[in-house]
Chain A
Amino acid sequence: MSTESPSQQPATSPQIGVDEWVQRSGERIAGPGGLLRLADRTPPVLLLAAFIGIACAVPLLTSNGYVIGVDADTLLYVLLAIGLNVAVGWAGILDLGYVVFYGFAAYLFAELSSAHYDIHWATWQTVPLVVAATVLLGFVLALPSRRLNGDYLAIVMLFFLQMFNNFTTNGYAWNWLGLSGSHDVTGGPTGVTNIDPFRIFGHVMGPGPRDYVFVTAAGIFVVAILFHYVNRSRTGRAWRALREDPLAAEMMGIPVKWLSLLAVAVGAGVAGFAGSVNGAYYQGVFPDTFMFPLLITVYAMVILGGAGSLGGVVFGAVVVNVLLEILRTPDHARWVFYAAMILGLLAKLRPWRLLGALVAGVAVFGVVAHEIVGAVWARGVGGPIATGPTSFTTHGFWATLIRHWMVLPKNTYTAEDYRIGNYAFVIVIVLVLACTALKGWKRWALLVPTIWGACFVWETVLIEQNPVVRPLFLGVILIVLMATRPAGLFGKTRVEIV
């Protein structure tokens, strides 16, 4: 901020209503949108209870193991997102080491309840111990916040993640850096397996996700309530103050350094519990799990939902994980893709006539492109539609539609066709960027080939490549959100410079 003294400005008499105007304009800026208003009006406990109820109903209503598994995974992510939200959303610390806490807890739990060291402690002993140890680790890894802040702190936290990854991957031959004999700590790339499941009151949980749905849901219920209260108390307020302005907070009697440590450590505690569940539920921990992509996933959840809003991050975690799951199967992924595109257009396109024109344009464009390509390059059309085993898009109306509208090269797996897809991918990205840069009718005109091109790339390349598409999707979420709605879906829009 400038240190210019404002007192130099000549004092002007107030315009009538200036004060009021400022107040109104504030409301205009931060006025809650539709979703937010609905969420605001419902008591938080009700929302939480509804969420837990639905999550717990899934294993009762279906016996489909896959669905229950997704349910359990999603809940685990919800827990992780709630934990990360403490540092990122409330205290405003970019805790890029968060995954370390999760991984550390999973490994610690694994080593205290498996044949690795032949230790098989009871669940009521391991879980509290793991959580306590992870909180402690949180305090330790957050110590750099005493000297660093902002980007520098974030990067140092990322160093810890790199160190942790290096250690877990190579930890099968740990030798205290040459000072002792070699010793298997982490199991190396194959991790630790055959981990004991949770045993609570003599009841063995699992195998399978069903019981862990209930365990995790209970965890979320407790943690969400506890955190809700903290957020409304002196600690939560102090966190927000330090997010707003650490220096002013410090001068108002708030021990900023301590509170930073506390925020990271409290979040770590949640990750500690989630890590224990991870170990017991999957019955194995592997170094590849706890790497940068997981960090991005949890961040995307927190940021999509709205960092700082408990309900928001829960929502974000559910949406992101369910979408990521859906993207696994081409058939379902196709629906997500087209639905997302249409929703996006609906949200952005105001006059309905324009939308109609656009859809018509894209349809015509596709048919024409199909004909031209068919005439020039016979092998370029009439290829198979990418599907899963239960497809209904291979036959019938939709299939015919796609066949006549889309260019689907035969022999999709030749190197040449891949290259075409790759070029198309790059071209579509360029078109999308151009669309964001252009204004007026040029944008609408360009949207036609862009949309069709995106569908082409989707149908020929992306739909089959879910291991890449899923992370790509996360990256896109982050970029698009920051450009359109940095506060996330449920977060309050923050004003930094007025």
Chain B
Amino acid sequence: MSGNGAQKQPLLDLRGLSLSFGGLTVIDGLDLHVDEHEIVSVIGPNGAGKTTLFNLITGAYRPDEGDILLDGESLVGLPSHKINQRGVARTFQTLRLFLNMTVKENVMAAQYGHTRSSIVEQMLQLPRARREEREINAFAEEKLGFFGERLMGYRWNQPAYSLSYANRRRLEIARATASRPRILLLDEPAAGMNPVETHEITELIGKLREEGGFTILLIEHDMHVVEGISDRVIALDHGVKIAEGSFDQVATNPRVVEAYLGTSAAVTK
């Protein structure tokens, strides 16, 4: 397929996606698309299926039904590392850094899919292995540089576990960008951050799109973040898309309000 149609082909296109665990339907016939260079936010109450959506896209789970297209090509059934190499990278809500590796190594490791030297070349330190090593080193420093002072030089050779919580979140983003994706899936990047840091991360996400050229699909509970940067917001509840549109449209949508606050009887919460 190519983008010759009247409408531009979306970068990421989910069609009729469904997944259930045993009897529990977590994602239910979901259609969702993200256009190139767009920032789309997914919101929804706890357990709505947002993280599961990311797990489906990245191949951790396989959908029961539906299709996931990246640039028109299906990702369903591919192993996760292939999906990553096609251009999808994510961060984790629960933070899954390589804790005992250094900050820089975390970022360098993510470039595995973009290096080619064989183990024999590495053993013998043949030119290609050495060149690639230099390249990913420089690339990693560049990616870390994106975060300015926060992940600056003196921290590069510290183990990742020595970072503060907020910096671990930043490092996760740096690691994800280092795998050279076209679309970044960020799972609650502002979780656990204080207002200053939240503001910073909001700006950073904008910068990732402007300077990094990434398309971004974002899960976030913090409405300030969502409001600040989203081109489009999608609300999920029980795996069903209940609203889509601009932040204001979605935020005022009665179904969304109800999903967050329960029926009017339960507003006391």
Contacts and interface: CB of A to CB of B under 8 A. Distances in A.
Interface of A: 1-3, 5-7, 9, 11-14, 18-19, 22-23, 25-27, 30, 226-227, 229-230, 232-238, 240-241, 244-245, 247-257, 262, 266, 492, 494-496, 498
B159 A30 contact: yes
A235 B192 contact: no
Prevailing SS type, chain A contact patch: helix
Contacts of A253: 81, 84-85, 89, 110-114, 179
Interface stretch (B33-41, B95-103, B241-249): B95-103
Residue among B81, B129, B136, B222 with the highest chain A CB neighbour number at 10 A: B81
B230 interface: no
B195 A11 contact: yes
30 contacts: A1-B94, A3-B51, A3-B93, A5-B188, A5-B221, A11-B192, A13-B194, A14-B194, A233-B129, A234-B111, A234-B117, A234-B122, A237-B101, A237-B105, A244-B98, A248-B97, A248-B98, A249-B109, A251-B58, A251-B89, A252-B112, A252-B113, A252-B176, A253-B84, A253-B85, A253-B89, A254-B81, A254-B113, A492-B100, A495-B99
B119 interface: yes
Contacts, number: 166
B161 A237 contact: no
Contacts of B125: 229
Contact of A241 (B101, B124, B155): B101
Interface of B: 46, 51, 58-60, 79-81, 83-85, 89-90, 92-94, 96-101, 105, 108-115, 117, 119, 122-125, 129, 132-133, 136, 155, 158-159, 161-164, 167, 175-176, 179, 188, 190-198, 221-222
A122 to B, nearest CB: 24
Contacts of B167: 19
A191 B188 CA distance: 62
Contacts of B105: 237, 240
A319 B77 CA distance: 49
A29 to B, nearest CB: 8
A244 B105 CA distance: 12
Nearest to B185: A251
A13 B166 CA distance: 12
Contacts of B97: 244-245, 248
Given A13-B194, A229-B123, A237-B112, A256 B129 contact: no
B57 to A, nearest CB: 10
Contact of A251 (B60, B111, B132): B60
A293 to B, nearest CB: 31
A3 to B, nearest CB: 7
Nearest to A266: B119
Contact of A238 (B58, B99, B112): B112
Given A1-B94, A6-B192, A19-B164, 4 more contacts: A14-B196, A250-B84, A252-B113, A253-B85
A228 to B, nearest CB: 9
